[in-house]
Amino acid sequence: MRAGVLAVIAALGPLVVPIAGLSADQTPVGLWQAVDSSTKEPTGWFVISDHDGVYGGIIARMFLKPGEDPNVVCDQCKDDRHGHTWLGLEIVRGMKPEGDDKFGGGTILDPRDGKIYQATMKLTPDGQTLVVRGYIGFELLGQNQYWTRLPDSAYSMLDPSVNPNVVANPNPMVNSNPPGKRAAAPRKPGLAPNP
């Protein structure tokens, strides 16, 4: 699992930023899946969110191989992410619109070695694939990773600690979010997930 998620992250470009006025299919806000290019098996799921016009993304689901530690931490990170578990780790930061379908100016973290790369993201015309590109120095020298948009129903498969559609329970003595029931209203396509 660690190697799979790391491979995805290493090739990642930053996560995307939706622009006001984009159609639902043209916004990067949502849940995305990366797959291993040779096995075609999922390596990770990532949630991209809008933070007042600046976009970031977290590791939302890891696909572990037998014997891999589900509580692996970013022990090589050199910034505020040092020691943070990979699940929920913010790997994409500071992405801003650079056109109708491209986002850049941000960074992407490879939690395997703690290195931070410049990144861009570009949506395909149908809005269902996100081309994430991480690079050092010149974008032309980078590497692409292709992420596929997952349906909103896939959010129900996320751990509640990383699911942006689960509302925190203000009264821990009362279970306001029974298992299997989504706490927040469904998201409208193109809008940031409910906090």
pLDDT in tens, 105-119: 999 999 989 999 999
- Residue-wise pLDDT tens digits, 148-187: 999 999 999 999 999 998 876 555 554 444 443 333 333 3
Model confidence, pTM = 0.73
Q: Output the six-digit token pair for 4.
A: 């799979």
Contact 63, 55 (CB under 8 A): no
For CA atoms 18, 24, 26, 31, the dihedral sign is positive
pLDDT exceeds cutoff 80 at 88: yes
pLDDT grade, residue 189 (50/70/90)? very low
With beta carbons less than 8 A apart as the criterion, state whether 61 and 70 touch: no
Question: How large is the average pLDDT for residues 14-29?
Answer: 51
Spatial contact of 154 and 31, defined as CB atoms under 8 Å apart: yes
Could you tell me the pLDDT band of residue 146, with boundaries at 50, 70 and 90?
Answer: very high
CATH architecture of residue range(s) 2-151: Beta Barrel (2.40)
Predicted local distance difference test score (pLDDT) of residue 188: 35
Q: Spell out the domain ranges in the chain.
A: 2-151
